Amino acid sequence: RNLVVVATASFLLGLGWNPLATSSSSHLGVVGNYDDDDNTLSSFPSSWQRQQQQQQDMSNNNNNKNHHLQSPISPNTAVVYHPSFAERYILQHAEQLGYHRVPARGCDIWIPNNNNNHHNVTSPHPNIHHDDLYASLTALKSQWAEHAARVAQFTPVTNDVRHGWQRRNDDDGKRDDSIDTTFCRRLDVGLSDIFTTQNDNDDKTKGTFSSSLSRFEINDNRHHGSEHKSRNEYYYMEPLLPPLRDPIWCENAHRRNPDILKTSYLVHDFAAMCRSIVGEQQQQQQQRQQLQQRQQEQSLSNHDNGGVRTVFVDLGASLNFAFHRSDTPALDLIQLYQKFGIYFDHIYAYEAQHQPPAKVFQAVPEHLLASYHWINVGVQVSPHHKLHPWKLLARHYRPGDFVVVKLDIDTTEIELALIDQLLRNQTLLDLVDVFYFEHHVSFEELLPTYTESAQKSLQLFTELRRRGVAAHYWV
């Protein structure tokens, strides 16, 4: 299967923090029961079972040591999460840096440490800048900018990755079953060859962008072609760092600064996504050929179309944004995936606020209209309800399809209820591949009225990644 990415709140349940316990909404009482009539989803484990498992996971992972897990990418792959130096340092020193406070200061780590800087004078933690941390952040900020420029300049892929991986036979022009190993490498936009050189008292240091990133190390034991090989691959992503936004925003940190909505700092390893989709596509094709040879085609699912399906679920699909923008971050994200050859077969856009249909479809690019499903009602958290998004996925899709979910409905109780359901159920985790979530964290520079601490949020996202989930903060 492919890479699962979900951003959410399970890790803190083991520390005694239950997002559902803080909710006064009566409809959340159904969250723990997924044993619906048609058994679409398997039952949740009991609270005791989850606590026991979490305690065991924590005991096996003391001091943030890497933990080997069965990967959601495939039954035959395993993942180890390696946080970047900066991410690991900040999480380990979160209280020293003041991130346990509500609100905290989100931008201080990006400010040079000198006595003339008024931000550091008033900071509750004036000595936060360990030399190695600041050097790492300085290099990362420069590398981020170059990477964003390369993504912007990348020539769009004209073929869907599901069709571009097969070689052409020069004799008859038909495709054969062997993989064009160079195809996915074309989607690498400098994760391994962006360098930064810093001059500090004539001491030059040089490092790659990938060395500043967090990453999954993936051990893949699947069959590749006619051979069965074990190989290690990497999936890179941006480190989890305050203020949970593009650090360029910190140069003028206030809510009316349009940089608050920039998502170009997010690192999407499209080459790794391509390898995952292609590997699953080839494996399904081989299985299908074996079934045909044994005349068992009828055993395939009614929803099976003979390959990997691609789905984007937008929970909170408002098309109205501040600063009079003509675009929206979610549509930008969808088109970014398409630019790198990942075309979505279906886009499910849920939005509770009523929008005139003419206005909606005027905003949606024409090339997305065939895939775009506008659902102008709010999502439901009852697993029995037909507007429950997880039920939609569980009934119509399977592990191995490529599913991206964005959650940003600005209703904390519902967001955390959906996240809790997701993390409690392995069936759902096997379905979702990439998850973006705007966690409402309290920062002085942003919205100090929020109640969640940066420390808990960083722990949450780090734990998700440690479990093989490539979690991204949303804006």
* Residue 184 buriedness (CB in 10 A; 0-12 / 13-18 / 19+): buried
DSSP string covering 411-449, please? -HHHHHHHHHHHHH-HHHHHH--EEEE---B-BTTS-TT
pLDDT cut 90: percent of the chain above it: 36
**More confident position, 65 or 336:** 336
- Residue-wise pLDDT tens digits, 97-114: 999 999 999 998 998 754
CA distances 158 to 161, 273, 275, 343, 457, Å, are 9, 17, 17, 10, 38
Range among 152-166, 309-323, 387-401 with highest mean pLDDT value: 387-401
Could you tell me if 34 and 448 are in contact, meaning their C-beta atoms sit under 8 angstroms apart? Answer: no
pTM of the model: 0.77
In terms of pLDDT, which residue wins out, 312 or 31?
312
Least confidently predicted of 243-247, 272-276, 369-373: 272-276
pLDDT for position 320: 64
Confidence of residue 310 (pLDDT cuts 50, 70, 90): very high
Nearest to 468 by CA among 210, 213, 218, 191: 218
The per-residue pLDDT for range 413-454, each reduced to its tens digit, is 898 899 888 878 888 888 888 899 999 999 999 887 888 999
- Indicate the pLDDT class of residue 82, thresholds 50, 70 and 90: very high
Instruction: Calculate mean pLDDT across residues 220-239.
Output: 70
Q: What is the mean pLDDT of residues 26-41?
A: 35
Q: Which amino acid is at 303?
A: H
**297-313 CB burial, b ≥16 within 10 A, e <16:** eeeeeeeeeebbbbbbb
Q: How confident is the model at residue 204 (pLDDT cuts 50, 70, 90)?
A: very low
Phi-psi region of 441 (alpha: psi -120 to 50; beta: other; left: phi over 0): beta
Question: To which H or E segment does residue 108 belong?
Answer: none
DSSP code string of 365-392: -GGGTTTEEEE-S-----TTSTT-HHHH
**pLDDT for residue 261:** 87
Distances (CA, A) of 57 to 46, 88, 425: 16, 18, 17
Which one-letter amino acid corresponds to residue 292? Q
H and E: helices and strands count for the chain: 13, 16
CB atoms within 10 A of CB 186: 17
Mean pLDDT of 201-220: 71
Residue 327: pLDDT band with limits 50, 70, 90: low
φ and ψ at residue 197, rounded to 5 degrees? -115, 125
**What one-character DSSP code corresponds to residue 10?**
S
Which residues, other chains included, contact 473 with Cβ-Cβ below 8 Å and sequence gap of 6+? Answer: 7, 240, 244, 245, 436, 437, 438, 439, 461
pLDDT at 273 over 80: yes
Q: What is the mean pLDDT of residues 2-19?
A: 42
Place of tokens 């943030």: 64
Taking 80 as the threshold, does the pLDDT of residue 402 lie above it? yes
Report CA torsion sign: 399, 275, 433, 211: positive
For residue 396, what are its two tokens?
A: 């119509």
Which pLDDT score is estimated for 333?
95
Structural element, H or E, at residue 237: strand 231-237
